[in-house]
Amino acid sequence: MAALQVNALFKKVAPAPAKKAAPAKKGLFGAKPAPAKKAAPAKKAAPVKKAAPAKTKVVKKAAPVKKSSGKPSQAGGDLAKWYGKNRRFYLPSGLLDPATDVPSYMDGTLAGDYGFDPLKLGADGKINDYRAAEVIHARWAMLAIPGIVIPEALGIPGGVWTETGKVFLDGEAGRPEILQNPIIFAGIQIALFAAVEGYRSGKVAPPEGFVPGKGKFSGSDFAGLDPINPGGPLDFFNVASTPEDLAILKVKEIKNGRLAMIAMLGVFVQGLTTGEGPAANWGKHVADPFGYNFVTISAIERTPVL
């Protein structure tokens, strides 16, 4: 038994005999080496794709700016002519230096500010109050000129402004007594003036009313509005729908109002000089321009002396 175990042990430990390599095949000149395997052909590189050309963005041309049609709503560019430091002045730039010849309180914020205040009336800081008074007088003058000229031109009794009071007091106006009573007319005017001035100053709340196209309005609709140029419900035709419109209309109003005030001064001077109304003076001047004018009327008649 011991001999069998020793033999089995030797069988496990003894290495297996190496196998003989197969003899190489003899060629014509001896051993022929095994042919080397050909390397696999390298794969062709994939062609590089050309980069797509970058897309260029087409820049659209800006639409041409529309020219102003001359309407107030498109007159924003005209504001520089009437407002600000570069506005128009009462003298050309060569004859006027705005930095030294224009008062500092006339800074171009008010409509119609040409820098003209030779008496320095606005130096007391009340220039806004003076502007309110100017606008009110200008509006009265614009109402007075047609109210003086038209009745006289139509030949209405009492139409000549220098004789209106006399005709009414004498009862020659051709109207019922109640309509030509000066006391009644004075009372009506005082009542209307008091109401208008109360509304304008804010001491009296404006009443409710109705405007065609706008509907009903109340006093609260005027809150925060300019008391001289409120607009709002009183802008019946929406002519001042934007701030630019209102600014341009303020300039037009004060320019026409100043012209009307000068015309009223002419009416007063003509009435004192000729004793006639403006329509009669104008008719005589048109009929004989060289024989009836300021020079011939104001000339002093002299008796020739030898």
pLDDT in tens, 267-304: 999 898 888 899 999 999 999 999 888 888 877 666 66
139 annotated as a binding-site residue: yes
pLDDT in tens, 200-240: 777 787 788 888 878 888 878 887 888 888 888 888 888 88
- Tell me the longest C-alpha to C-alpha distance in the chain: 198
Dihedral through CA 231, CA 233, CA 237, CA 240, nearest 10? 20
> pLDDT digit string (tens) for 123-169?
999 999 999 999 999 999 999 999 999 999 998 888 888 888 777 77
Give the pLDDT confidence of 74-87 residue by residue, as tens digits.
454 588 899 998 89
Cβ–Cβ under 8 Å, residues 191 and 176: no
Amino acid 35 reads P
**Best-predicted range by mean pLDDT (30-39, 41-50, 188-197):** 188-197
* Residue 66 annotated as lining a ligand binding site: no
Q: Which residue has the tokens 């504001």?
A: 79
258 is in an annotated binding site: yes
Tell me: is residue 253 an annotated ligand-binding position: yes
Q: Is 134 annotated as a binding residue?
A: yes
Q: What is the CATH number of domain 125-298?
A: 1.10.3460.10
**Cα atoms in the Cβ-side hemisphere of radius 13 Å centred on 133:** 6
152 is in an annotated binding site: no
Domain extent listing, the chain:
125-298
| 256 assigned ligand-binding residue | yes
**Which own/partner contact pairs does 275-281 have at CB distance under 8 Å and 24+ positions apart?**
275/162, 276/160, 276/162, 277/148, 277/149, 277/152, 277/159, 277/160, 277/161, 277/162, 278/148, 278/149, 278/152, 279/149, 279/152, 279/153, 280/152, 280/160
Whole-prediction pTM: 0.67
* Residue 285 annotated as lining a ligand binding site: yes
Greater confidence, 137 or 6? 137
Tokens of 237: 């035709």
